Amino acid sequence: MTPPTSHTTRPLLVTGANVGVGYEAARALAAEGHPVVLVCRSQERGEAAMDRIRAETPAADLDLVVCDLEDFDAVRQAAPQLAERAPRPLALVNNAGVYRARLERTPAGFERTMAVNHLGPYLLTRLLEPTLRESGARVVQVASAAHRSGKLQRSPLRQILREPSSYRGFGAYADSKLANVLFTRELARRWPEVTALAVHPGMLSTAIWDRNRTVGMALVRLIKPLMGDPADGGRAVAEVATHPRFDAHDGAYVNRTTVEPARLPDGADTLARELWEVSAEALGLES
């Protein structure tokens, strides 16, 4: 007989779980007794993260799936592994993200910020659709207050996703975080069985600020000591991924753990539908 699966025995899938917000979320979840599947782009960094979590929580139930989210073939390979290893997930936490000060492209020719922050997680989520919907899972996008500066209507979405005519690091990041919020709203509309949430984890002192060698980012690094503790952000994400009180807020934006209105452009619902369709087209999926 299959044992009953309670809230705490269903696993959570957390992308980008080897450092920063994702690691802290995985650590907090494991400490609460949740099984966690870490989705990392490096086997070595993923295993090191699991070792750190086990050092604190020896009974932690952890698993690792390697997936580079900007490599869409890798996402297609990882999705069935995740569905097999975590058949009834409690939540998928799309946390992995990058900030790129200068325009970079993935080997497949996509603008990297949008590829890692939106298209990869979009693809992973779409490929996990049966398991997420059947299990009534939560789908959490780790977005950002930066979504407020997103301007996805400045040019056709196809162009923004693939061939941006101009590039500003903050603008591209803000666009990708607005895409996270819009994806959340559209998920809520399309998949009634899941609870979709977008969360801003706070302005946190993580490695995301260290990964660009530009004057602008050097200035941002100067204020890193004033930023929040990543552990606080991780705990907020863990709470948004698990606490039953968020069941009533499908499609919402959550600032740390407080539901509040996202700041969205006019026509956000139309834009959210268009983003879903154009993303599907870019990835060769049915919309």
Ligand X SMILES: NC(=O)c1ccc[n+]([C@@H]2O[C@H](COP(=O)([O-])OP(=O)(O)OC[C@H]3O[C@@H](n4cnc5c(N)ncnc54)[C@H](OP(=O)(O)O)[C@@H]3O)[C@@H](O)[C@H]2O)c1
**Which residues are known to be catalytic?**
173
Closer Cβ to ligand X, 41 or 185, answer by number: 41
98 makes contact with ligand X (CB under 6 A): yes
Which residues make Cβ contacts (< 8 Å) with residue 241, sequence separation at least 6?
A: 12, 25, 29, 90, 91, 93, 138, 140
Cβ proximity to ligand X: between 95 and 184 the closer is: 95
- Beta bridge partner(s), residue 38: 14, 64
Residue 142 interacts with ligand X (CB under 6 A): yes or no:
yes
Contact between 16 and ligand X (CB under 6 A)? yes
Q: Which of residues 24-53 bind ligand X (CB under 6 A)?
A: 41-42, 45
Q: Which residue type is seen at 142?
A: V
DSSP letter assigned to residue 2: P
Q: How many residues bind ligand X (CB under 6 A)?
A: 27
DSSP 8-state assignment for residue 4: P
Instruction: Say whether residue 181 binds ligand X (CB under 6 A).
Output: no
**Pair of tokens at residue 237:** 């994400």
Helices (H) and strands (E) in the chain, counts: 11, 8
149 Cβ contact partners less than 8 Å away, ≥ 6 residues apart: 170, 171, 174
Q: Do the Cβ atoms of 146 and 204 come closer than 8 Å? A: no
Which stretch, 11-19, 155-163, 245-253, 260-268, contacts ligand X (CB under 6 A)? 11-19
> Residue 184 interacts with ligand X (CB under 6 A)?
no
Maximum pairwise Cα distance, the chain: 61
Residue 93 CB, nearest distance to ligand X (Å)?
A: 10
Q: Does position 138 bind ligand X by CB under 6 A?
A: no
**183: Cβ–Cβ under 8 A, 6 or more apart, which residues?**
118, 121, 122, 125, 141, 196, 198, 272, 275, 276, 279
Site for ligand X in 194-233 (CB under 6 A): 200-201, 203-204, 206-208
Q: Which is nearer to ligand X, 21 or 37 (CB)?
A: 21
Residue type, 79: A
* Minimum CB distance to ligand X smaller for 116 or for 268: 116
Asked whether position 111 contacts ligand X by CB under 6 A, the answer is: no
Question: What residues from 57 to 86 belong to the interface with ligand X (CB under 6 A)?
Answer: 68-70
19 binds ligand X (CB under 6 A): yes
Tell me if 38 sits within 8 A of 49, measured CB to CB.
yes
Query: Minimal distance in Å, beta carbon 57 to ligand X?
Result: 19
Give the SS3 label for residue 257.
coil
Q: Which residues bind ligand X (CB under 6 A)?
A: 15-16, 18-22, 41-42, 45, 68-70, 95-98, 116, 142, 144, 200-201, 203-204, 206-208
